């Protein structure tokens, strides 16, 4: 594991402030993204950004729970040292579903 990855892993576990610090940044980015197009208002972008930024860590935690129950470290070797496909896509799968549900609620 590289120095940056090791430091990030230590901060996520020991510091515990990664998620609370990241949520406002993700919300700001979603609102800023809404300024560059006309089909999504700032409030809609904020709702979408909030749902996705909460769902992504939940997807990662859910996948970690499954791995602990099974007793494995990786869910495959598709991406080499990065683990399996589920290790890379867990947050994206949860975010996709949460984003779709919020989008359906907004339209």
pLDDT in tens, 50-62: 888 888 888 888 8
Task: List pLDDT tens digits, range 21-35.
Answer: 777 777 788 888 888
Domain span at residue 40? 3-106
Tokens describing residue 35: 């300024």
d(Cα 60, Cα 93) in Å, to the nearest integer?
Answer: 10
Q: What gap in Å lies between CA 68 and CA 61, rounded to an integer? A: 10
Instruction: Give pTM, 2 decimals.
Output: 0.66
**For the chain, how many structural domains are there in total?**
1
Residues 63 and 74 sit within 8 Å (Cβ to Cβ): no
The candidate with the shortest Cα–Cα distance to 100, out of 24, 92, 89, is: 92
Q: CA angle, corner 72, sides to 53 and 52, nearest 5?
A: 10
């Amino acid at each position: 594991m590289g120095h940056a990855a090791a430091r990030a892993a230590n901060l996520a576990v020991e510091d515990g402030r990664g998620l609370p610090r990241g949520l406002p940044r993700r919300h700001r980015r979603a609102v800023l993204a809404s300024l560059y197009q006309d089909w999504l208002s700032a409030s809609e972008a904020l709702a979408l950004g909030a749902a996705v930024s909460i769902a992504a860590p939940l997807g990662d935690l859910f996948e970690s729970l499954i791995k602990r129950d099974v007793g494995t470290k990786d869910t495959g070797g598709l991406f080499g040292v990065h683990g399996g496909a589920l290790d890379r896509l867990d947050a994206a799968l949860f975010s996709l579903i949460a984003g779709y549900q919020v989008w359906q609620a907004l339209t």
